[in-house]
Chains A and B, each alone.
Chain A
Amino acid sequence: MIAEFPPVLIFWLGALLLPLLPKNIRPWVFLAFPAASLILVLSLPVGTSITVEFLRFELHVCEVTKLSRVFGIIFSLIGIIAGTYALHMKEVGQQVAALLYGGGALCVTFAGDYFTLFVGWEVMAIGSAYLIWARRADDSYAVGMRYLLVHLFGGSMLLAGIVLQVYTTNSLLLQPFAYGESLAAWMILCGVTLNAALPPLHAWLADSYHRATVTGAIFMSALTTKSAVYVLASLFAGWDILMYMGVMMALYGVVYAVLANDIRQLLAYHIISQVGYMIAGVGIGTTLAINGTAAHAFSHILYKALLFMGAGVVLYTTGKSKLTELGGLYKHQRLVYWLYMIGAFSISGFPLFNGFISKSIIVASAGESHHNIAMLLLLLASIGTFLHTGLKLPYWTWHGHDSGIVPSKAPKNMIVAMGIAAFFCTLFGVYPDLLYRELPFAMEYRPYTVFHLVETVQLLVFTFIAFWLYRASLAGEPYMALDTDWVYRAPKAFFQAVFVTNVNRFFEACETIIFRIPVYLAKIFVHPLQFILTLRMPTRDFDPDADRSPLGVPIALTLAITVLVAIWNLF
């Protein structure tokens, strides 16, 4: 039995220690923290509750439930995989940011109260924003600032909801909300769904993930949205609106993935699409659906990290990430291609891979709850998933026309990390019970039935045939597709004018006036008497000999008054 303490502390301790270590061993030591965290999470029994006194509140900093345990395991595991992928990267800023970020996700996952949740939430925003800035491209500063501001906006909504909730219920503890229970619940929902990238609050994701560093994007693809999914599953299970929004989200990501030209942005839109399944699962809210959400988050983190790692290798070795600039890399990158394809088979729900055993739980739960249209639309979204991630992206990156690019050699650790992720994608696909037994609720569900295999095989084969016929029209196009971030990006000039330029002008004008006043006064005080008498600017300096009035007059006046007062007193 290992001592009981919150896993987040291991990550944050790492963030403190790492900068003190020599550069060359740092990436290796980095791995120790998520590994230790994984061991700790696995050893903490369900039901563990660690409380800390803080001011007059009792904080539940670590509540281990079956649901939080699943997320805790995968967040730690992905830390090891992403750390392996980043072994060649010696930059301490990114390493520390990644540990803070991963810790934030674990803090949120095991939080039993709103205060702990909020602390983890904000640390995640800051840690991840650094991973965008660290790219140091021309636009990195602006992208990171947009990302951070949007998340601080979401954090503010969350905080406002928390304050209202604590004020009305007088309790900091996280308790599931009944549908539409209170204004506080809606505000917390808005704050959380922003991090879950639920349209229309999703644009930060598609704006930033493809602009993060090659290694940082792996952490980002795993942590922010899935920690929000965890919070939704634990607080908002059964909220009908989330099912409709989730289905819409699954399709929204698919449509935009058709339009994306940057391979990492295409994958980012598919995060939105996949998280749509999870949110739909939360909205359906049955035990099967919540199991599906947890299982799919677990699978998704593995295969999405694998896909991002594949795209990251392409970017790292060619310096390019746009479909219009890529093509024909297969002969140079066979291994990377096949490892990527394992991720693609997984996300597309091929039998024997982990997407097959998790996505289907959510789809089945929709069918079981008689949400037939939702079920068919989720299947439609999965067609789109295979179409883009499994066909369009690999076809136009590694096959298609030959771009003539000769990629440099990828560091071995990147390939090894992809291998580890691919191993787990396959492992859980072949032995789904390894994952199923960790799920929050007991279930009868079996993925490998003849019926389910028939359904999947037919969908996949005919999606492929349709793709083959239309592959030419799925080549990348050198355009950018407007998304909801237009709302805050397009009026930039207007806001800049109103809130920056004009405000600056006003202050400049005030400053000029303030500086002019002493100059003016100084001019007056060279000869105040002349100014008072003529009300014009003095024409010369005060001259005591010429301007001072004779002393006789005031002396005579004083004497006269003294005499008058004296006489008055006599009578």
Chain B
Amino acid sequence: MKKVHWIILAVITAVSLIAQYSTGEHHHWWDLIPGFYAIYGFVGCILIVKISKWYGKKIVFRGEDYYDR
């Protein structure tokens, strides 16, 4: 990731926030939170990684030859 890529992402995010504010459209209470979906995407992604990895390491990971032994 070069600097220019981060700048592009920042611009896209800014545009989306402005668009969210300007449409004012909402179907659920959470639609009124500015950048809700950005927060949800970021936190959701980390949660998926953390919870899945925990589940794998603590409960279900076995050696690749588990059934062949």
Chain A residues near B37 (CB, 8 Å)?
379, 454-456, 458-459, 462
Check if A480 sits within 8 Å of B13, measured CB to CB.
no
B21 to chain A: closest residue by CB? A454
Does the CB pair B16–A482 fall under 8 Å? no
Q: Is B27 interfacial (CB 8 A cutoff)?
A: yes
Q: B64 touching A480 by the CB < 8 A rule? A: yes
Contacts of B7 in A (CB 8 A): none
Report yes or no: A383 in contact with B44, Cβ–Cβ below 8 A.
yes
Number of B residues near A (Cβ < 8 Å) is 42
Given known pairs A457-B16, A458-B38, A481-B61, the reply for A489 and B55 (CB within 8 Å) is: no
Which residues in window 469-518 of A have CB below 8 A to B? 470, 473-474, 477-483, 489-490, 492
**B-side contacts of A93, CB under 8 Å:** none
Q: A478-B64, A479-B61 are in contact. Are A461 and B41 (CB under 8 A)?
A: yes
List the A side residues contacting B67 at CB < 8 Å: 489-490, 492
Which residues on the B side are within 8 Å of A477 (C-beta)? Answer: 56, 61
CA distance A367 to B23 in the complex (A): 19
- Interface-central residue, A372, A387, A461, by most chain B CB under 10 Å: A461
* Interface check B28, CB cutoff 8 A: yes
- Which chain B residues border A98 with CB–CB below 8 Å? none
- Cβ of A483 and Cβ of B9 under 8 Å apart? no
Name the CB-closest residue of A to B59: A482
Interface of A is mostly: helix
B66 pairs with A255, CB closer than 8 A: no
- Cβ of B32 within 8 Å of any chain A Cβ, yes or no, is no
CB of A377, distance to nearest CB on chain B (Å): 10
Rounded to whole angstroms, the CA-CA distance of A473 and B53 in the bound complex is 9
Assembly CA distance A455 to B55 (angstroms):
29
Supposing A466-B46, A470-B49, A477-B61 touch, asked if A482 and B41 sit within 8 A by C-beta, the answer is no
Tell whether, in the assembled complex, residue B45 and residue A463 are in contact, meaning their CB atoms are under 8 Å apart.
Answer: yes
A451 in the interface (beta carbon within 8 A): yes
Interface centre among A454, A467, A489 (most CB of B within 10 A): A454
Contact A479:B64 (CB < 8 A) given known A458-B37, A462-B38: yes
Compute how far the CA of A120 lies from the CA of B40 in the bound complex, rounded to whole angstroms: 43
**Within the assembled complex, what's the spacing in Å between the Cα atoms of A463 and B42?**
5
List 28 contacting pairs A-B, 8 Å CB cutoff, sorted by A.
Answer: A255-B48, A255-B51, A258-B49, A259-B53, A259-B56, A376-B40, A379-B44, A380-B40, A383-B41, A383-B48, A387-B48, A450-B22, A455-B37, A457-B16, A458-B16, A458-B41, A459-B37, A461-B12, A461-B41, A462-B13, A462-B40, A463-B44, A466-B46, A466-B49, A473-B49, A479-B64, A480-B61, A481-B60
Residues of B within 8 A of A (CB): 1, 9, 12-13, 16-17, 19-20, 22-23, 25, 27-28, 30-31, 35-46, 48-49, 51-53, 55-56, 59-64, 66-67
The 9 residue pairs across chains A and B that have the minimum distance between CB atoms: A258-B52, A466-B45, A462-B41, A458-B37, A462-B42, A458-B38, A459-B41, A479-B61, A482-B60
Q: A468-B1, A481-B61, A482-B59 are in contact. List 14 more A-B contacts (CB 8 A).
A: A259-B56, A375-B28, A384-B45, A450-B23, A455-B37, A457-B13, A458-B20, A459-B40, A462-B41, A462-B42, A463-B41, A470-B45, A470-B46, A473-B53
Interface residues of A (CB under 8 A from B): 254-256, 258-259, 367, 372, 375-376, 379-380, 383-384, 387, 449-451, 453-468, 470, 473-474, 477-483, 489-490, 492
